[in-house]
Chain A
Amino acid sequence: MFAPQYPEALRLDIYDHALVGGNGGQDLTEINILNHYIGMRDLAVEDFTEFKWIPFALGALALLFVRAVVFGTLKEFVDAAVVFFYFGAFALWSFGYKLYRYGHDLAPNAAVKVEGFTPPMFGHKAIANFDVYSYPRAGTYLMLAVAGLIVMALVLAWRGHPDRSDPLVEVSAA
């Protein structure tokens, strides 16, 4: 988050288990102090139940994939992939919903009244004097990589299947 008064920006990193403010945690305090003027409640770790179960969910997913590797059948793999995509979609929705709630559940007696808003999940948004940028970090990219690998694995598995008819070949032939 950049503003004229914050040329070095305020930074907030959201991990699977914690919220970490930049500048040794001070940026989170600062964001909360600023947000209190518009009646937003403090961003607090306790608010995010996700932090409690996401690490375990990731572990469980990993186990599902290990199971698929051990059994080596498509069935186990498809199970794991489906759970993975469900998990991914839910996590994104949950994060978006949290942001929505923070931006909309504003105290009615706030000093500064603003329209409810949703902080950006991806990209840039101008909020008052702040330019807010939100981008995924390594964890999200790794999840995307896993999704890519899953798709690749499915494609390869499908192409390697003896009963396959190759739509690509058919298309090019046509």
Chain B
Amino acid sequence: MKRQWNARLRMWLALGAGVLLVIGYSACSPSAPPSSRGGGGATSDVAVAAMRTYVAPGDLDEYYFFLSGGHSGNVYVYGIPSMRHISTIPVFTPYPATGYGFDDDSKAMLGNLTWGDAHHPALSETGGDYDGRWLFINEMNGRVARIDLRDFKTKQIYGPVPNISGNHGSSFITPNSEYVMVASRFSIPIPKGTYQPIDKYATDYKGVIAALSVDPNSGELDLGFEILMPPFDYDIGDAGKVASDGWMFFTSYNTERATGKLEVTASQRDRDYIVAVDWKAAAAAAAQGQGDTIGGVKVLDPAKIPGLVYLMPCGKSPHGVDVSPDGKYIIGSGKLQGVTTAFNFEKVQTAIRNKDFEGEEDGIPVLTYESIKDAEVEVGLGPLHTQFGPDGMAYTSLFIDSAIASWRIGEWKVIDKVPVSYAVGHLAAAEGDTVDPDGNYLVSLNKLSHGRHLNVGPSQPESSQLIDIGEEKMKLLYDAFTEPEPHYAQIIKADKINPIEVYPKEENKHPLAVWDVKDTGVTRNGNRVTVKMVAVRSTLTPTSFEVQEGDIVTIAVTNIEQTTDELHGLGLLDYNINLVLDPGETKTATFTAKKGVFPYYCTNFCSALHQEMQGYLIVKPR
């Protein structure tokens, strides 16, 4: 009897346990409670990360972090280590927040293109180190912009550069800011406007490398010279420095010269090339007037002028190429491989001297791979880009492994690896592409964030992760969610940049600027009307004015404030006009008057009586 009960008891207990297990499983597994690590993936030591990244209210960051905004067309400014977004610099896209693209000048600068796929920001350099003067950035329509770091404003958009098509291969600057280098990603028949059927791609389509000269005083960009190249896709570059100063390196893929489904057709060869350009020799040849005129500019043909360009075989479809701080090594990786290759610049020079070539492409010699490489570092899968730290440290991003590997030049062995979330593209270390990298911090610019943030719907932000590289063991510190889409970035020590806080009155040379409300007013010349307006707390003067229907009206507003942070705006309703004036700034907006009454007002909050800062444009019918 007792045994029977025992058996029955056991049976019930077992059944009960089983039911509980099932309930437990079904209850917990599919709907795990949200954790602090919502998306899973890389984690950090909370205490260390908090201490390293906390910048107390009112305190300042150590570094400026300039992040390309990809096809948003902007540059984003963050602070490191806090990873706080501080400012947005509109470059290739109108940006109502600062009135960019709405006033006459910036509208003219943007031209007909109101988007640009910004990729690789480059800080100006002196002696291979950041000098804090300008930031250059390219976009795919063949243009390069210059941002002045005195006021963080876009001052010039140069281009489209003649013959360049799909300007992915820029903006890469030479060590003394002599040139900003540019290269075609999409080879086309040149000059632009030429017809050639797609089956003539291998012979009649051309790649182009262009050097834009930089005025040493103003930073103004102009065309230096161009070089005619085989129809490869030119991807990313880096200028030689110190030992390799005078040389420029670009990666290329699709050296198969294929068309169609490139993911297959351009992935057939085991090796593509790093293009080595002796830019000092090219500049000298251009100065002698060599080259053929194509598209209105002189283009140097390396087949006719030997010594300008050499091809360095590199693992299949390389993406980044990066020159070590001492200029002795050129690091390139096939993006589908597991190794990154360190080429020795001295060996490159020896191979050129000894004509140690393994082939040629359209008359351009191909150097023998075995003769120029020093090491293949087994960094992991999908190596893309390399940045540098002090003491020979190198950091390579691994797209497929979703990690960053650190290694040391000369030792050629991986020291540490840190997982990132997820799928890192570029990475940027503190002054990590200069002759004097700082170490300290590195940012992993990831393509995917996979929900490591509050859910904002299907259009998910990218993630930029701050990593501590102060010690050999890398530590993940912070996730920032950056707007689409970070490509490359630059990190510069904060004390290298000293921006102004107001535009000094003495420097305002605008012909329509007025600095006293007594000088404001409306002048007419035929049907052209000029309105000189003053913005100062808390009135826009004149507070109203009349014009005739059909008049071409130019409003010139001067913000006569000289006080920090006293911005004013001028929004004119129904005209798509929205100016924002920094203290001491004058901007104009021109439009054709249509009949009616149109309020204008200060858009940028300025003062306790900001809401009263308004007026009327009154247009009499004809």
Contact = CB atoms under 8 A, between A and B. Distances in A.
Interface of A: 26, 29-30, 33, 37, 111-112
B609 A33 contact: no
15 contacts: A26-B562, A26-B563, A29-B562, A29-B563, A30-B563, A33-B536, A33-B537, A33-B561, A33-B563, A37-B538, A37-B608, A37-B609, A111-B609, A111-B612, A112-B608
Nearest to B583: A26
Interface of B: 536-538, 561-563, 608-609, 612
A29 B537 CA distance: 12
Nearest to B537: A33
A25 to B, nearest CB: 9
Nearest to A29: B562
Contacts of A30: 563
B526 to A, nearest CB: 38
A37 B562 CA distance: 18
In terms of DSSP, what is the predominant structure of the interface of chain A?
Answer: helix
A37 B561 CA distance: 15
Contacts of A26: 562-563
Given A33-B561, A33-B563, 12 more contacts: A26-B562, A26-B563, A29-B562, A30-B563, A33-B536, A33-B537, A37-B538, A37-B608, A37-B609, A111-B609, A111-B612, A112-B608
A29 B560 CA distance: 11
In terms of DSSP, what is the predominant structure of the interface of chain B?
Answer: loop
**Interface-central residue, B561, B562, B612, by most chain A CB under 10 Å:** B562
Contacts of A112: 608
Contacts of B536: 33
Contacts of B563: 26, 29-30, 33
A57 B562 CA distance: 36
A29 B608 CA distance: 18
A29 B562 CA distance: 8
A117 B418 CA distance: 66
A67 B72 CA distance: 80
A29 B536 CA distance: 11
Contacts of B561: 33
A141 to B, nearest CB: 32
Nearest to B539: A36
A111 B536 CA distance: 15
A111 B539 CA distance: 12
B204 to A, nearest CB: 63
Please list the 8 inter-chain residue pairs (A to B) with the smallest Cβ-Cβ separation, ordered nearest first.
A26-B562, A30-B563, A33-B537, A111-B609, A29-B562, A26-B563, A37-B609, A33-B536
Nearest to A112: B608
A1 to B, nearest CB: 14
Contacts of A111: 609, 612
Nearest to A7: B58
B540 to A, nearest CB: 15
A67 to B, nearest CB: 47
A111 B608 CA distance: 10
A114 B537 CA distance: 19
**Interface-central residue, B536, B561, B563, B609, by most chain A CB under 10 Å:** B563
Contacts of B608: 37, 112
A111 B538 CA distance: 10
Contacts of B609: 37, 111
A112 B608 CA distance: 10
A166 B561 CA distance: 65
Nearest to A30: B563
B58 to A, nearest CB: 9
A169 B288 CA distance: 103
A47 to B, nearest CB: 18
A112 B561 CA distance: 21
A26 B561 CA distance: 9
Nearest to A5: B565
Nearest to A27: B563
A40 B26 CA distance: 75
Nearest to B502: A26
A82 to B, nearest CB: 46
Nearest to A10: B563
Nearest to A25: B562
A111 B612 CA distance: 10
Nearest to A26: B562
A111 B563 CA distance: 21
A104 B439 CA distance: 62
A99 B562 CA distance: 26
**Interface-central residue, A29, A33, A112, by most chain B CB under 10 Å:** A33
A111 to B, nearest CB: 6
A66 to B, nearest CB: 43
A30 B583 CA distance: 12
A93 to B, nearest CB: 34
Contacts of B538: 37
A37 B563 CA distance: 16
Contacts of A37: 538, 608-609
A140 to B, nearest CB: 29
B547 to A, nearest CB: 29
Contacts of A33: 536-537, 561, 563
Contacts of B612: 111
Nearest to B565: A5
A107 B608 CA distance: 19
Nearest to B561: A33
Nearest to B536: A33
A26 B506 CA distance: 13
A33 B609 CA distance: 12
A37 B538 CA distance: 9
A21 B612 CA distance: 28
A11 B222 CA distance: 46
Nearest to A111: B609
A11 to B, nearest CB: 14
A33 B612 CA distance: 16
Nearest to B560: A29
A37 B537 CA distance: 9
A41 B537 CA distance: 15
A8 B484 CA distance: 38
A30 B537 CA distance: 10
A92 to B, nearest CB: 32
A33 B563 CA distance: 10
Nearest to B609: A111
A162 to B, nearest CB: 66
A37 B536 CA distance: 12
A111 B537 CA distance: 12
A44 to B, nearest CB: 14
B602 to A, nearest CB: 15
Nearest to A33: B537
B517 to A, nearest CB: 11
A29 B561 CA distance: 9
A26 B608 CA distance: 20
Contacts of B537: 33
B505 to A, nearest CB: 10
A111 B609 CA distance: 9
A37 B608 CA distance: 9
B518 to A, nearest CB: 14
